[in-house]
C-alpha cells in the first residue's frame, strides 16, 4: 500500500484545478473525468464503480475569522462521528455515514489564505453496504486518504480567488436606486458608473473600475394600431408575436419567457454572432427584454451584456448579479 506522501505525488497522475489553485495526485490506473472547471469524477476500476466525486469552491468570507468559526462552518452535523484536524493553514474533516443500503464517506479540505480567502475541496464516495464489496472498497479508502492528504493549494491568490472576492463584493454591495426615463427603476451597486448617451436614449453602466465589463440599457416604444388592438385582446399573443419578430434573424439559446401581473413580461436569451473583426471569434451577448403592454403602445426596455471574459465563472458572477437586478426592476409606466 501507499506509505509515503512525497513518493505518491512523484509517481502518480498530477491534476491541477482552477489554474493551479489546487493540485491533486492520483494512481495511474485511475480514470479521471473533468465534469467542469470545478468538478472531477474519478473511477478506480474499468467498471467505473464506485465513483469518487471531487468539487472545489473558492470563496471570500470575512466572518470566518477564528479557528472556532472555521470548524463550525466545516461540520455539517455535530452528532456525526467525524475527525477534524488542522495542519498549518489547512483544515481536514472526514466522516462516514450509512444512507439506506449504502455507505458514504466524505472528506473536506479547507485551505485558508489570510486575510479572508478560502478554498474548499469536497470528496464524496458511495458504495453498497455489503460484506462482498469490502475487499474492493478497503484499498480504495486507503488510497483516498492519501489522495486527500496530498492535495496542494497555491500559497498565493489566484485569479479564482480574485473572482471569489468579486462575488462577495457584489453580493454585499450597497445599492442605489436609479430611475431611467421615468420608465423603469433599477437598484444597482453604488460603485457602478452610469453614463447616458447625449440624446439620453440609452445608457452604459460600467461594472468594474477598469470599464472592462458593462451593460447597455435602452428604451423604445412600438405604437399599436387601434384597429389591430381592438381585434387583439390577447396581450400574451401580442407579446409572443413581437418576440418572434425581434429574434427571427438572431441565433439564440437558453431562451426563457416570464409573465407577471399588469401586462408585464420578461424575455431573455443568449445571442451568438460571428465577430465582424475576426471571423474565427464568436461574440456572445445575454439579452433581456422587459416588456409592458400599454393602451396605445408597447414599452420595451432592453439590456445587453457581452459575455466577454475568457473565464466563464467571471461572466457568470456578473450575470447572476444582473439577473437579480433585472428580475427585481420596477416598470413605472
pLDDT band at 201 (very low <50, low <70, confident <90, very high): confident
Taking residue 277's Cβ as centre, other Cβ atoms within 10 Å add up to 7
Of 17-26, 186-195, 225-234, 263-272, which gets the smallest average pLDDT? 225-234
Summarize pLDDT for 280-314 with one digit per residue, the tens: 789 999 999 999 998 889 999 999 999 999 999 99
Q: Let me know: does 101 contact 128? Beta carbons within 8 Å.
A: yes
Tell whether the model's pLDDT for residue 6 goes beyond 80: no
pLDDT band at 231 (very low <50, low <70, confident <90, very high): very low
pLDDT at 228: 53
Tell whether the model's pLDDT for residue 45 goes beyond 90: no
Residue ranges of the chain assigned to CATH 3.40.1000.10 = 5-158, 173-331
With pLDDT > 70 as the criterion, what percentage of the chain qualifies? 94
Q: In the beta sheet, which residues pair with residue 178?
A: 186
Tell whether the model's pLDDT for residue 229 goes beyond 70: no
> What is the architecture, at CATH level 2, of domain 173-331?
3-Layer(aba) Sandwich (3.40)
**In residues, how long is the chain?**
333
pLDDT band at 226 (very low <50, low <70, confident <90, very high): low
Our measurement of the distance from residue 296's CA atom to the centroid of its chain's CA atoms, rounded to an integer in Å, reads 41
Class (C level, CATH) for 5-158: alpha beta
Residue bearing the bigger pLDDT, 261 or 67:
67
> How many whole angstroms separate alpha carbon 197 and alpha carbon 280?
31
**Span 132-150, average pLDDT:** 92
The residue among 251, 249, 259, 239 whose CA lies nearest residue 300 is 239
Task: Work out the burial of residue 52: count CB atoms within 10 Å of its CB; fewer than 13 is exposed, 13-18 middle, 19 or more buried.
Answer: buried
Our measurement of the distance from residue 211's CA atom to the centroid of its chain's CA atoms, rounded to an integer in Å, reads 22
Q: How many CA atoms lie less than 13 Å away from 127 in the CB half-sphere?
A: 22
**Span 187-209, average pLDDT:** 93
With a CB cutoff of 8 Å and minimum separation 6, the contacts of 326 are 186, 266, 268, 288, 290, 303
Of 49-63, 117-131, 222-236, which gets the smallest average pLDDT? 222-236
22: left (phi over 0), alpha (psi -120 to 50) or beta: beta
pLDDT at 27: 93
> How many whole angstroms separate alpha carbon 140 and alpha carbon 42?
11
Amino acid at each position: 500500500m501507499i506509505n509515503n506522501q512525497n513518493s505518491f505525488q512523484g509517481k502518480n497522475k498530477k491534476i491541477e484545478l482552477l489554474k493551479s489553485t489546487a493540485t491533486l495526485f492520483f494512481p495511474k490506473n485511475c480514470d479521471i473525468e473533468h465534469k467542469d472547471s470545478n468538478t472531477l469524477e474519478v473511477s478506480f476500476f474499468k467498471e467505473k464503480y464506485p465513483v469518487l466525486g471531487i468539487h472545489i469552491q473558492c470563496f471570500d468570507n470575512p466572518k470566518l475569522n477564528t479557528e472556532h468559526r472555521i470548524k463550525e462552518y466545516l461540520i455539517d452535523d455535530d452528532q456525526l462521528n467525524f475527525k477534524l484536524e488542522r495542519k498549518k493553514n489547512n483544515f481536514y474533516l472526514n466522516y462516514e455515514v450509512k444512507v439506506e443500503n449504502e455507505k458514504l464517506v466524505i472528506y473536506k479540505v479547507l485551505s485558508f489564505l489570510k486575510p479572508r480567502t478560502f478554498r474548499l475541496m469536497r470528496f464524496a464516495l458511495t458504495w453498497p453496504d455489503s460484506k462482498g464489496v469490502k475487499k474492493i472498497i478497503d484499498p480504495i479508502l486507503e488510497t483516498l486518504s492519501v489522495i486527500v492528504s496530498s492535495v496542494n493549494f497555491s500559497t498565493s491568490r489566484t485569479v479564482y480567488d480574485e473572482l471569489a472576492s468579486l462575488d462577495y463584493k457584489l453580493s454585499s454591495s450597497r445599492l442605489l436606486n436609479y430611475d431611467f426615463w421615468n420608465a423603469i427603476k433599477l437598484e444597482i451597486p453604488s460603485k457602478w458608473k452610469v453614463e447616458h448617451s447625449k440624446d439620453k436614449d440609452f445608457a452604459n453602466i460600467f461594472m468594474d473600475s477598469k470599464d472592462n465589463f458593462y451593460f447597455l440599457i435602452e428604451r423604445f416604444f412600438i405604437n399599436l394600431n387601434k384597429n389591430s388592438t381592438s381585434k387583439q385582446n390577447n396581450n400574451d399573443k401580442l407579446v409572443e408575436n413581437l418576440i418572434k419578430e425581434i429574434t427571427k434573424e438572431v441565433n439564440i439559446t437558453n431562451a426563457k419567457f416570464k409573465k407577471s401581473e399588469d401586462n408585464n413580461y420578461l424575455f431573455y436569451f443568449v445571442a451568438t454572432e460571428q465577430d465582424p473583426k475576426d471571423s474565427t471569434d464568436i461574440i456572445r451577448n445575454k439579452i433581456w427584454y422587459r416588456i409592458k403592454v400599454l393602451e396605445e403602445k408597447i414599452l420595451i426596455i432592453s439590456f445587453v451584456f457581452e459575455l466577454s471574459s475568457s473565464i466563464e465563472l467571471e461572466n457568470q458572477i456578473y450575470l447572476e448579479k444582473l439577473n437579480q437586478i433585472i428580475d427585481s426592476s420596477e416598470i413605472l409606466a
